[in-house]
Amino acid sequence: MSFPTLGLSPSLLEAVAARQFEAPFPIQAQAIPAILAGRDILALARTGSGKTASFILPLLQRLQEQPASERRVLKVLVLVPTRELAMQIADFAQTIGNYLPTRLKIRAVYGGVAINPQMTAVNGVDLLIATPGRLLDLVGKNALQLTAVETLVLDEADRLLDLGFSEELNKILFLLPPRQTLLFAATAGESLQSLVTLLLRDPLRIDLGATSSETGQITQKIYSVSAERKGPLLRYLIKKGGWQQVLVFTSTKRRADNVAKKLVDHGLSAEALHGDRTQGARIKALADFKQGKLRVLVATDLASRGIDIEGLPYVVNYELPRAASDYTHRIGRTGRAQLIGQAITLLAPEECEHFQMIEKKLGQRCERIATDDLELTGY
């Protein structure tokens, strides 16, 4: 399978080649022709599978094919659970959009920042990536109409539901005309099923599961360690292993701050990424981390959702997530796009039972590595 056989226009093929995408990932091979043909889609695929390109490429092509008189009204709406994901998708779409012969207006809107600039930004937008709450605010202020939307994409739909966006989602759906709907999710829970029944007409089902081979290889390591020794062990692993880019997950914002501070105190460049930090600080931390200026990013689940960092080699669970699906999402940050990654879990005795439950849900069992004998003084 190659990109030229999928029905993409020459300018999109050029854009794809410039990104050094040599061949389509499985999700792209299946989704692109179907989306071009106007079909609904249900795709079970993790971040890292190449799902962004699987909908952005065909949707940009469709937008580009529209007569000029139909442009500058919102035709494609992408709903996402977090600001980071919104920015990331917009970034990708804009980069690809630059290769098109006709200029399309592509914007991302999300909460946590002033609404006024966004009210201007959405004027005449062709493709909008939005978090649900902010989208409704903009509609409420008459900055935007949804009546011409031809395609709705729900990205990380399972997460949208998990994060309690179902009320906003219903309000938005009520405002939309009949349309093509594309639903992407990492896991298929019960609530997702009701969305599928409600929204999709004869969808093409693409199921790449949680262990799809195109996402590369992830080695999981589980270190048994007491809660007090987690900090020293983390610093030991980073320093001894010479890890240069590490994403660490904690369960609370406060812990994220503490872990980051301690890393800094021990001479490692680190920042916390969570919902209490300003949007500016979050963007900067993420950018620095992506560019390799920051060695460690300590994040809560919400803040890190959907973060796409090319070739991220190390993910550490400083604490366990509540749900097995979050565990899958977290470790899915690494080993992406055919690279090998390591997911490390620091497991305290009091977390063992919970971890066993996660393992049971995921149908796996990992060896525990004992750390009692490890000399951590000075770390």
Q: Does residue number 333 form part of the binding site for ligand AMP (CB under 6 A)?
A: no
> Contact region for ligand AMP (CB under 6 A) — 17-25, 65-73, 174-182, 340-348?
17-25
| Contact criterion met (CB below 8 Å) for 84 and 305 | yes
Query: Of the two residues 12 and 53, which places its CB atom closer to ligand AMP in the complex?
Result: 53
Q: Rule CB under 6 A: say whether 323 interacts with ligand AMP.
A: no
Q: How far is the CB of 135 from ligand AMP (least distance, A)?
A: 21
**Least distance to ligand AMP from the beta carbon of 375, Å?**
39
Closer to ligand AMP by CB, 80 or 298: give it. 80
Q: Between 21 and 379, whose beta carbon lies closer to ligand AMP? A: 21
Name the residue nearer to ligand AMP (CB basis): 158 or 308: 308
Cα–Cα nearest to 175, from 140, 134, 203: 140
CB of 49 to ligand AMP, least distance (A): 5
Q: What torsion do the CA atoms of 79, 151, 37, 42 make, to the nearest 10 degrees? A: 40
When the beta carbons of 49 and 181 are compared against ligand AMP, the nearer one is 49
Q: How far is the CB of 25 from ligand AMP (least distance, A)?
A: 5
- Closest to ligand AMP by CB, 15 or 122: 15
Distance CA 181, CA 210 (A): 22
Class of residue 111 by CB neighbours under 10 A (exposed 0-12, middle 13-18, buried 19+) = middle
Number of residues forming the site for ligand AMP (CB under 6 A): 15
Between residues 48 and 81, which has the closer beta carbon with respect to ligand AMP? 48
Enumerate residues 45-104 that contact ligand AMP by CB under 6 A: 47-53
> Where does this chain touch ligand AMP (CB under 6 A) — which range of 22-30, 63-71, 74-82, 236-244?
22-30
Q: Does 263 bind ligand AMP (CB under 6 A)?
A: no
State which amino acid sits at residue 288. Answer: D
As measured in angstroms, the least distance from the Cβ of 343 to ligand AMP is 17
Residue selected from 202, 310, 372, 375 as contacting ligand AMP according to rule CB under 6 A: 310
Least separation in angstroms between CB 124 and ligand AMP: 27
* Interface segment toward ligand AMP; rule CB under 6 A; list 23-31, 121-129, 228-236, 369-377: 23-31
Q: Which is nearer to ligand AMP, 57 or 270 (CB)?
A: 57
Q: Which of 308, 326, 342, 355 binds ligand AMP (CB under 6 A)?
A: 308
CA distance 77 to 139: 13
Residue 3's nearest CA partner among 48, 72, 54 is 54
Q: Are 220 and 335 in contact (CB under 8 A)?
A: no
**336 binding ligand AMP? (CB under 6 A):** yes
Closest to 303 (Cα-Cα) out of 247, 356, 346, 354:
247
Residue 45 or 320: the one with the smaller Cβ distance to ligand AMP is 45
| Integer Cα distance of 332 and 82 in angstroms | 17
Which residues of the shown chain bind ligand AMP in the complex (CB under 6 A)? Answer: 21, 24-25, 28, 47-53, 308, 310, 336-337
